[in-house]
Amino acid sequence: MNNLQSEWFVALQRLVPQHGLSRLGSRLAEATTPWLKNALIKQFIRTYDVNLDEAVSSDLSDYPHFNAFFTRTLKEGVRPVDQSNTSLVCPADGTVSQLGSIEAGNIFQAKGKSFSVGSLLGESDSDSQRFMNGSFITTYLSPSDYHRVHMPVDGELLYTRYIPGKLFSVNDTTTQYIDGLFAKNERLVCLFDTPVGRCAVILVGAMMVAGIESVWHGHYQPGEVTTNQFNSGQVLLEKGEELGQFKFGSTVVLLFEPESMIWDPQYQPGTITQMGAVLGKYKAVG
């Protein structure tokens, strides 16, 4: 895509009814008419070369609608979770978009573009201050990827903040042309207390995403910014345990406190990730 095409692509997304199109896509993805949902699934498998050998079921009749197929579970053992005492693991299958240090509270998006921790988390408070000079990694989940998100480390959920927003598609073009893309799109912020200190897991929605879900809440309906506090011990998740899911391709952003972890050197922008693989090592806090 040349520069002019990219500019038109982004301009069109600003003009189209993003939420209306996504709601329409959601209804289609939840359709239970056998011939329709099977046709959608078969076309999707052909288009994105989906590996059904990893799925618990390769029988299309086991999926009541397209979304059930899209968020399919995997066979036990297909994604082994590294159990080393100080390891952090990849939260999802996908491709690393960016990673590195948070510079004075700013997270790098693409050349010439970044966004603040406060804008991503939805509030500049004492929690966002913890990540001011910390570390981040942004992982893009393509349509063909496994679409469940898992814990990078053992954690106790402190609060969630659901933030309605835009639904720009997430790809190389939009990250290069839309300022603060991940801080503009719909997202679910999950803040955990972990052995590595505070860890933020942010699930970012995108165009045609039919919904963001968490294992403790279920589906998040678009509405107002909503913050939910959790009692001590209410939600405890182990490393590798499922946290939530997307009903179409999108992005996961992880934030860590300063000097709390070291990336595995294999990870660079463009690196393919698999859930459960070692992402880095951490230094225990406290």
**What is the pLDDT confidence band of residue 212, given thresholds at 50, 70 and 90?**
confident
Q: Is the pLDDT of residue 11 over 60?
A: no
Exactly one of 150, 169, 214, 260 is catalytic; name it. 150
Q: Is the pLDDT of residue 171 over 70?
A: no
Q: In angstroms, rounded to a whole number, what is the distance separating the alpha carbons of residues 254 and 94?
A: 13
Asked if 6 is an active-site residue, the reply is no
**What is the pLDDT confidence band of residue 67, given thresholds at 50, 70 and 90?**
confident
Asked if 219 is an active-site residue, the reply is no
Burial class (CB in 10 A: 0-12, 13-18, 19+), 248: buried
Q: In angstroms, rounded to a whole number, what is the distance separating the alpha carbons of residues 33 and 160?
A: 35
Asked if 93 is an active-site residue, the reply is yes
Exactly one of 93, 119, 145, 214 is catalytic; name it. 93
**What is the pLDDT confidence band of residue 226, given thresholds at 50, 70 and 90?**
very high
User: What is the per-residue pLDDT across 122-138, written as a single tens digit (0 to 9) for each?
Assistant: 988 888 899 999 999 99
